[in-house]
């Protein structure tokens, strides 16, 4: 049976059926519609004001590649300028190839690129060193939990370095729905309370962050990359496979089979969620070491680095959120262990932020 005509231009043959609406569109009309929807998300949510200098968290993966490409198309209408900021976590055999993809994109699109490295920002610690230190196997299940915290900090530092006023990341609707499910499954009211909306306005001196692709499905992100012939890096990070997020992803697939709008419905549910006063987390304060936003005496990044220093790495994602704890004063940060054999024992952490390029 021949493909139907494009619903929009009525000239070309349709090349796809939009997963949610079922609309049959040709490739160019789909890309135009996708860009218009991202523009609407940004304008309706007042995410990026005219004049904003926008740091795009660029990982080389499909989501951040599509985000950078779409924002580059929309930049004249939005009146914003773009900077690519990439984070080098120090993951051997993975990140170098992903960074090569980011460099190609920066050159092709003529966008300035800055790379910030964990090793420079965090006293010599790389993710490989953290993995050795936390598990001794080099493939700890806690890696993504640690990495998600450090990555957030690194992106903030990189954005400040390039004079950005705003940060954007490539999270799509599926990513956000998975996060909502994970927070429900962990009973993490604090994260559920913060998880709604299209971003954060920049509490406590942090730069405002937003997710312009948050209402776009993963399938459509892939289709956009396909029809725009975007060059991106698609290998999975070596530390990702064990992550808890994988269970949420499987669950979401089952839900979408029965209800195609399940991902977007979950995102909207989180936006509208109202917590009872007793369940709300205490208002955040400032980290006693670095001044970043913190719900305890140390922010998560400083607590993590402090734990690595003491040989007792730990994180409290989803645990102990009743109030601020009493952590001792921080000491100087020692260099990471270079010899895997000398690394301390395994961490008790649980992976909570595995990304396949979604950890910004």
Binding residues for ATP: 57-59, 63, 87, 170, 175
Minimum CB–partner distance for residue 355 and ligand SF4 (Å): 3
Q: Where do the DSSP E strands lie in the chain? A: 16-17, 24-25, 53-57, 81-88, 113-117, 166-168, 199-200, 209-210, 285-286, 293-294
Name the residue nearer to ligand SF4 (CB basis): 52 or 317: 317
Is residue 65 within 8 Å of residue 105, measured between CB atoms? yes
Tell which one of 240, 252, 264, 302 touches ligand SF4 (CB under 6 A). 240
* CB nearer ligand SF4, residue 242 or residue 265: 242
Question: How many residues make contact with ligand SF4 (CB under 6 A)?
Answer: 13
* Region near ligand SF4 per CB under 6 A, out of 30-38, 174-182, 209-217, 233-241: 233-241
| φ, ψ at 86 (rounded to 5°) | -115, 150
Q: Which is nearer to ligand SF4, 122 or 239 (CB)?
A: 239
Q: Is 52 in the site for ligand SF4 (CB under 6 A)?
A: no
Q: Does 89 bind ligand SF4 (CB under 6 A)?
A: yes
- The packing angle between helices 27-44 and 62-78, to 10°, is 70
Q: What angle do CA 124, 114, 94 make, to 5 degrees?
A: 60
**Using CA atoms, how far apart are residues 28 and 25, in angstroms rounded to an integer?**
8
Among 54, 106, 111, 144, indicate the residue that binds ligand SF4 (CB under 6 A). 144
Judged by CB under 6 A, the chain residues 114 through 143 that form the site for ligand SF4 are 127, 143
Closest CA to 83 of 35, 60, 115: 115
In this complex, which beta carbon is closest to ligand SF4, that of residue 130 or of residue 216?
A: 130
* Residue 173 is a binding residue for ligand SF4 (CB under 6 A): no
Residues 267-326 that bind ligand SF4 (CB under 6 A): none
Q: What is the DSSP letter of 341?
A: G
Q: Residue from 148, 190, 208, 352 that binds ligand SF4 (CB under 6 A)?
A: 148
| 26: nearest Cα among 43, 44, 3, 47 | 3
Binding residue (CB under 6 A) for ligand SF4 from 237, 264, 287, 308: 237
Contacts of 233 (CB under 8 A, 6+ apart): 59, 60, 61, 97, 98, 100, 101, 357
Residue ranges binding ligand SF4 (CB under 6 A): 89, 127, 143-144, 147-148, 237, 239-240, 353-355, 359
């Amino acid at each position: 049976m021949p493909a139907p005509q494009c619903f929009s231009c009525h000239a070309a043959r349709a090349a796809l059926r939009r997963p949610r609406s079922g609309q049959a569109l040709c490739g160019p009309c789909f890309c135009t519609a996708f860009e218009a929807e991202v523009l609407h998300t940004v304008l309706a949510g007042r995410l990026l004001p005219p004049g904003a200098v926008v740091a795009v968290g660029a990982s080389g993966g499909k989501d951040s590649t599509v985000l950078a490409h779409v924002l580059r198309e929309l930049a004249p209408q939005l009146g914003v300028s773009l900077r690519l900021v990439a984070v080098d976590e120090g993951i051997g055999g993975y990140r170098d190839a992903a960074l090569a993809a980011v460099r190609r994109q920066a050159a092709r699109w003529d966008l300035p690129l800055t790379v910030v490295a964990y090793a420079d920002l965090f006293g010599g610690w790389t993710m490989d060193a953290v993995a050795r230190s936390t598990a001794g196997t080099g493939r700890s299940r806690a890696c993504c939990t640690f990495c998600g915290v450090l990555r957030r900090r690194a992106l903030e530092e990189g954005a400040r370095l390039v004079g950005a006023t705003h940060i954007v990341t490539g999270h799509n609707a599926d990513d956000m729905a998975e996060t909502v499910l994970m927070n429900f499954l962990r009973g993490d009211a604090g994260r559920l309370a913060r998880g709604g909306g299209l971003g954060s306005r920049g509490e406590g001196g942090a730069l405002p962050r937003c997710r312009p692709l948050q209402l776009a499905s993963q399938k459509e992100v892939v289709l956009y990359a396909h029809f725009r012939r975007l060059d991106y890096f698609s290998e999975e990070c070596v530390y990702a496979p064990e992550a808890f997020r994988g269970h949420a992803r499987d669950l979401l697939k089952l839900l979408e089979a029965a209800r195609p709008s399940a991902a977007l419905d979950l995102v909207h549910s989180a936006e509208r969620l109202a917590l009872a006063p007793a369940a709300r987390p205490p208002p955040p304060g400032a980290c006693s070491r670095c001044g970043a936003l913190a719900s305890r005496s140390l922010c998560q990044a400083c607590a993590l680095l402090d734990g690595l220093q003491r040989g007792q790495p730990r994180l409290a994602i989803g645990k102990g959120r009743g109030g601020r704890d009493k952590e001792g004063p921080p000491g100087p940060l020692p260099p990471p262990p270079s010899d895997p054999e000398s690394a301390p024992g395994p961490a008790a952490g649980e992976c909570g932020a595995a990304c396949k390029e979604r950890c910004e």
